[in-house]
Chains A and B, each alone.
Chain A
Amino acid sequence: MQQISDEAYEAYLKERGLSRTQYTTIELLAVAAAREVPDGAFVFAGTGLPLLASMLAQYTTAPNMTLIMEAGIVGPRVEHLPISVSDPRGCLHSSMVSNMADTFGTTALRGYCTVGMLGGAECGMYGNLNSTIIGGYWPGGVSGTGHGPHVRFAGSGGANNIASFADKVLVVMVQEERRFPEQVEYITSVAGQRGPREKKESRWDYGLGRGGELVMISDLCIMRSNPETGILELDVVYPGISVDDVVINTGWALDTSKAKELQPPTEEELKALRMLVDPSRIYLGRKSKREAAAQAK
């Protein structure tokens, strides 16, 4: 890791009102996600937390990983946190920059996408993600009511594609029961197994040859897809969160039999995240939705 003097870090903590050992939810999520990146991985990351986590992984678990951003960036050495997958900051000292068709085609399609990192609005028990709509899909011109969906989200972007091609998908999401239903209203991205194999509803039954392994990093816990059934199961809960908290906020009968507690972020991880990844706290300074809601009460 790049050397950061202790004095510089101390001054930073003081200026920002932070502590060496305490961390925010966003910091915890970034650390938890970064730990899932194996060294040497090819990581497709979207903006926000995924980018934060994959940059942290470069400084911690995976110094030899290759970061890929779908707008055309392969293998950058980033100095300033990008806010977009096309941010010129993301292109710095890249192995190559080209175009979107090329990035997906030459890497993801050919099996180079070891890890894909995504967000989403809804996640179902088989790891299907919805980042498109809630409350009806059809827009006003064809819905019959004159108005469109109750809530419109950004849509797939590259999420569908990353989910289709990645060997392993990491999803970072706020966990609430309504966001974790058995089945999502609209499948934007097939990020996990998709459905039961015995009913021929799996990703492979629909022709997706790669992937199937999903790690859900919510703001309460980490879930993993069972390799046999494809159903998400509780793997670890965060310090201060109970298994019951997780169960209440999950819309399906969650298997909690293997649950353990997360090793909290280390001082070294927090230091790298704060000093090297996002020193301006563009993302780290944001409150998670749960924190914001708690504060509003």
Chain B
Amino acid sequence: MSVTPVRSNNRVEPAPVAQSKPIIAIDHVSQRFQTKARRDHLALSNISLAVEEGAFVSILGPSGCGKSTLLYIVGGFVSPTEGTATMKGQPIKGPGPERGPVFQEFALFPWKTVLGNVMYGPRQQGVKMVEAEAKARALIEMVGLKGYENFYPKELSGGMKQRVALARTLAYHPEVLLMDEPFGALDAHTRTRLQNDLLNIWERDRKTVLFVTHSVEEAVFLSDKVVMMTRSPGRIRQVIDIDLPRPRRRDELLLDPRYQKYIVDIERMFDDSGDVELPS
């Protein structure tokens, strides 16, 4: 499960290209909503996208482009008006533990402690109490919250809450992580720390991640692939492979002209279309 990246000549061998079928396939998906004024609103228009197993894919676009809706469709929380979404060839009909969401709003269970929240998923799946607790404690330590096991969500800062939410989702071993602007509600400093930590955790076991964001830098820093979307109605504008070595370190990347070029190129593309939304 865990692949230790091999460093050679300060570069990492690219992860083996998945020859198998994509783990997630979105096929000609459109989504319409009825607005309050009874007007038909087209949120997503004819989206097709394949996500390879083990890839970190960001969906990048301006506010209101339907990028979160696309994630909810993959999560099974919303069913598309047209088109299909499949996981490993099976149509997605509803939420399931193989696709674990992490929301911008954290959505922790406030009546449960940190430990209780992280144990919730394993317990739901019938893991024995002792085992679930040991697993939860290890995860809490991994996300850097050792010592906070018995705190309630209300006692935690936003960054800590999001760490708990990540641990809670990782605890039930989803095959795909669905992250919906997870760091969008955090201040810049906290956000940077969580990006670094997420990358460290991800580089250990390389789960498939679908990551929604409106920050160009965040998308380039984290991803193997950036899916650029257009302003409403959301269409895929371009898919860009981010060919940067892993494990990535922020200080190294910030000095790396290739990293800078990706960011500048993507921002220019958004500029050209008037879809400008600079990272916060």
Whether chain B is bound by chain A comes out as no
Q: Which residues of A contact B (CB under 8 A)?
A: none
Q: Which residues of B contact A (CB under 8 A)?
A: none
